[in-house]
Amino acid sequence: MAETGKTLIMQKLTSRLIYAFRTFVLRQEKPYLFGLVITDKCNLNCFYCGSKNSGKYHITSERAFSVLRDAYYRGHRSLYFTGGEPMLWYDNGYDVSNLVKFAKDIGFLDVFINTNGTLPIDVPNCNYIVTIDGPREIHNKIREGSFDLIIDNVKGAVTKSVFTSITFNKTNTKYLEDFVREIYDLKLFKGITFNLLTNWPEIVNKYGVMGNERIKLLDRIWKLKIDGYPIVLSRAAYVALRNNNWKRPIPQIELGTNEHIFKCCRDVDNTSVCKNCGYANCVEISQILDMKPSALWQFLRLVM
């Protein structure tokens, strides 16, 4: 087992060095991060989500395996599964564990599952990003009283590589500090990631955080980072988010669905959505690709 772990580390290091050479020396825009929407089925009913349970995004197993294979051959080496709730996906006898195994077998080095955490976290050989939308009381108002169930599932997770993520909206922003301290005190998560609610302008105006309120929120997040809390946010990404001036779409990111392959995300052609993007992890990737030292250093700390 130890030798297998060492081999995987060397594979990841070699892959990243080759990718860095192609990106930073040869200035090639090679794909690296691929996302796959496998379902829009969800067992929760979050008020800010407009795409759940529409029936539009179920992907067949045949299509999923084909898309993953093609993505790998295009150059992608990091992968995430998303939904809906990807742990609910099932097709022709396959579930998400089969997709993870297939992805690892063909050569993907890092695989993540974005999940609401209400189902057992029992798929091995991958990482998890579990959404928790505030301290216990606030999360339970947004996500149907699921906080304790999620924490129990994280405690029983098959891996220690579990991150949490919060989607900031008008309901939970004022509880930021309470949320971060509560999550930190649990000692269950490898890091805290976040998104600013990203959707059509009318949805963001109603439920999200914009303008000066967005800047103030980012300043509060950065202060918590400076205070030592494990928030996944480099200074470069903080500045880019605050100024809303990073390059987008990001050509090294692709997102696949049952019908399309999008460059960066599903909203790439919706300029009104894209110009107010709040996907912080994508911003982080953009700063790594721009060779910003703080972003590179944070990335190395997370992966090594």
pLDDT digits 0-9 by tens, 45-60: 988 887 787 888 999 9
Residue 105: pLDDT band (50, 70, 90) is very high
Q: Is residue 158 classed as helix, strand or coil in its secondary structure?
A: coil
Is 259 part of a structural domain of the chain?
yes
Is 10 part of a structural domain of the chain?
no
For residue 2, pLDDT over 60 is answered with no
- What does the mean pLDDT of the chain come to? 91
Contact assessment for residue 88 and residue 58, using Cβ atoms and an 8 Å cutoff: no
For residue 261, pLDDT over 60 is answered with yes
Residues whose CB falls within 8 Å of the CB of residue 250, separated by 6 or more in sequence, listed in order: 263, 264, 282, 285, 286, 289
Contact assessment for residue 197 and residue 167, using Cβ atoms and an 8 Å cutoff: yes
Torsion of CA 245, 129, 92, 49, to 10 degrees: -60
Tokens of 240: 């880019």
Contact assessment for residue 198 and residue 204, using Cβ atoms and an 8 Å cutoff: yes
Residues of the chain by 3-state class (helix, strand, coil), percent to 5:
45, 15, 40
pLDDT digits 0-9 by tens, 133-175: 999 999 999 999 999 999 999 999 999 999 999 999 999 999 9
Is 63 part of a structural domain of the chain?
yes
Q: Minimal CA–CA distance to 150: which of 127, 134, 126, 171?
A: 134
Is 284 part of a structural domain of the chain?
yes
Could you tell me the pTM of the whole model? 0.92
Q: Strands 33-37 and 78-82: what pairing? A: parallel
Task: For residue 84, give its domain range.
Answer: 31-40+52-303
For residue 303, pLDDT over 70 is answered with no
Is 133 part of a structural domain of the chain?
yes
Q: Strands 110-115 and 78-82: what pairing? A: parallel
Q: Minimal CA–CA distance to 83: which of 31, 140, 125, 43?
A: 43
Residue 269: pLDDT band (50, 70, 90) is confident
Is 26 part of a structural domain of the chain?
no
Please count the structural domains in the chain.
Answer: 1
Is 159 part of a structural domain of the chain?
yes
Is 262 part of a structural domain of the chain?
yes
* CATH code where residue 194 lies: 3.20.20
